[in-house]
Amino acid sequence: MLRAFMVIMGFTLFRVPRRYSTPNPAFAPLRLFSILIVLAIFAAVSRRASGYALEGQHWPAGTVVTFQMGLGSAGRPLIDGNTSWDAAAAPALSAWNNAMARLRYNDTVASPPVSSGDGVNAIVFSSTVFGQKFGSGTLAVTYWRISGSIMTEADILFNRNQQFDSYRGPLRFGSNGWCIGDIRRVLIHELGHALGLDHPDQHGQHVDAIMNSVISNRETLSPDDISGAQSMYAAPTPTPTPIPTPTPSASGSHFANISTRMDVGTGNNVMIAGFIVSGSQSKTVVVRALGPTLGSYGVANALNDPMLELHGSSGATIGTNDDWQTGSQASQITSSGYAPNNSNEPALIATLAAGAYTAIVRGYNNSTGVALVEVYELDTLATRLSNISARGQVGTSQNVLIGGLIISGSTSKKLIVRAIGPSLASPPFSLSGTLPNPTLELHDSSGNLLASNDDWGSGTQAAAISASGYQPSNAKESAIIATLASGNYTAIVRGVNDSTGIALVDAYDLDP
C-alpha cells in the first residue's frame, strides 16, 4: 500500500542503473520525495537485514576510473561553506576509495563534453539525459556503457532543474515540502552504481544502506554498502600501501596522501610524522592515527589506544585528539569520509597555511605497539604537500619503518626518497640509539620492488642524488630518485643484518 501511494506521488525511487550498450537506453531515475511521506518511508526501511545487490557488471580489477568533474561554481555560498559544486561533491569519491583495494576513483576538474560513448567519464549538470527528458522529480542518473560484463564508461548527470545544496546531517526540506538534494550524498549513491551496485531494498530486503532506492538521513556508507564494494574490488589493507584517496587537482601531479606505519614506543621512540605545505593558499587536511584497525588486518601487537598531536614549525600545538568520536570535530570527520573504524583511534581536521607541520603519535598511558599515521588533503586547491617524513624506532619483521604516499594527477612526479639513521645522532636531533646502517626499498601498489639502495654514494644514482641538493650527510644512509606515475607507493626502511634503532624516512618533491 505504501509503495502504491509513493508511486502515485512519484517521489519514491533512487535511480536504477541499467546495462547500457546502446545510445538510447531506458533508465529509472534518482528522485526527490516530499516531507509528507518521510515518516512512512523511514518506517518502511527501519528493519535491518544484510544483503547488498549487484548489477552483474564491473570494472576490471586494478582500474583507475578517472572522472572529469564539470559541476562548476555554485555562484553562492552553500550551506557547508563551499562555493564550488566540484569541491563540495569531491569527498564522495574518497568515501568509496577508502573501502576498496582493487579499484580507485580519480578525478580532475574540467569542463568535459557531455556525450555518451566518447570514452570520457563525466560528472556534470545537464538539462537532459543525452537528449531524453529527466523523469519527474529526478535528481541524477548514472549512464553506463559496457562490453560484455565489463564497464567501459560511466557518466553521472545531475538534473539542472532540481534544487541542490551541500550540507551534513539529516535531510533538509524547502518551504514547498520537497527535500533539498545534498550534492555529496547523491554523488556517493551514484558512484555506487558506477561500481556495479544495485538497490538492495528492491530485492525483497530491508537494508540500512546509502544504496537504497529511497533517499534518507544516511549520508555515509553503511557496512552493507562497503561489503558490496569489497565483494567486487576487495577490502583495502592499511599496510604496506595507504588507502587510495585522490582529490581533484587543477594543476600537475602532487602528493595527495601520506602515511607511516611503525612501532610506537615511549620517549624518543614515539612516532613522529612531518609534512610541508607549499603554496600561496591554506590547505585543509585530516590527520588520523590507526591502531586497533591494524590488528583487524592481522598486524601483531597493534597499538590499542593511540593519541594524536599536531604541531606547527615553532612547536606550538595546533590540535590534539584521543578517541575521534569524543572530540568537537566528530561530525566533520564523519562527513569527510575518513572516520577511523575504531572509537579508540584519534583524528583531527585542520586548515594549514604554508609551512612545516609535525604529527606525533603516542600510546595512552605510555602503551606501546604498531600504529599508522595518515594525512589526507580535503580540498582541491593548488597548494600542495611537498615533503613528507617520519621518524621512529626501526625493528625487525613487522616492526620495520613503512612510509606510504599517493601521487595524484595526470602527469608523472619526480621525487627523492631517503632513509636517514646515523645523522640523527648529530644536532639538531642529537638522538641516542640511532639506526647505524639503514637500507631503503621502494614498492608500487602491487608490492613490486621498484628500486632499492644501501649507502647512497655507492649506487648508480650517486651523482643525481648529489645534484638534487638532498644527499644524505652520512655515507651509510640511503636514497632513491624516481619518476612515478599517479598511484600508490611504499618506502620500507630496515637495518642491515636486522639491526635496530631510530631512523627517519622522507620524500621530497623534485618538480618545480
- 3-state DSSP of 65-116: EEEEECCCECCCCCCCCCCEHHHHHCHHHHHHHCCCCCEEEEEEECCCCCCC
**Are 282 and 197 in a shared domain?**
no
Q: Which residue did the predictor score with more confidence, 390 or 180?
A: 180
pTM over 0.75: no
Asked if residues 270 and 392 have their Cβ atoms less than 8 Å apart, the reply is: yes
Please choose, from the candidates 319, 25, 275, 298, the residue with its C-alpha nearest in 3D space to the C-alpha of residue 144: 25
- The pLDDT tens digits for 428-449 are 778 899 999 999 999 988 888 9
pLDDT tens digits along 84-106: 898 889 889 888 988 888 998 98
Q: What is the layout of strands, in order, in the sheet containing 121-126?
A: 103-109, 63-69, 121-126, 150-159, 140-147
- Indicate whether 377 and 473 sit together in one domain: yes
Could you tell me if 148 and 282 lie in one domain?
Answer: no
pLDDT at 7: 20
Residue 244 lies in a domain: no
- Looking at the structure, tell me whether residues 214 and 294 fall in a common domain: no
Mean pLDDT of the residues in the chain = 80
What are the backbone angles phi and psi of residue 118, rounded to the nearest 5°? Answer: -95, 0
- Name the DSSP class of 162: S
Counting the structural domains of the chain, the total is: 2
Residue 149 in this model has a pLDDT that exceeds 70: yes
| pLDDT score at 158 | 93
Residue 18: pLDDT above 80? no
Per-residue pLDDT tens over the stretch 449-468: 999 999 999 989 999 999 98
**pLDDT at position 39 over 60:** no
Does residue 91 have a cis peptide bond before it, meaning omega lies within 30 degrees of 0?
no
DSSP state of 58: B
Q: How confident is the model at residue 252 (pLDDT cuts 50, 70, 90)?
A: low
Q: What is the pLDDT of residue 207?
A: 84
- C-alpha 194/C-alpha 189 separation (Å) is 9
Domain that holds residue 275: 254-509
Give the CATH number of the domain where residue 146 resides: 3.40.390.10
Statement: residue 121 has pLDDT above 90? yes
- Examine the pLDDT at 476 and tell me if it is beyond 60: yes
| pLDDT value, residue 472 | 93
Q: Do residues 225 and 275 both lie within one domain? A: no
Length of the chain (residues): 512
Q: What is the mean pLDDT of residues 141-154?
A: 90
Question: Quick one: 74 and 26 in the same domain?
Answer: yes
- Under 8 Å between Cβ of 17 and 55: yes
pLDDT tier for residue 34 given thresholds of 50, 70 and 90: very low
Same domain as 262, residue 222: no
Strand 271-278 to strand 140-147: parallel, antiparallel, or no bridges (unpaired)?
Answer: unpaired
Query: Same domain, yes or no, for 67 and 103?
Result: yes
Percentage of the chain beyond pLDDT 90 is: 32
Higher-pLDDT residue of 29 and 325 is: 325
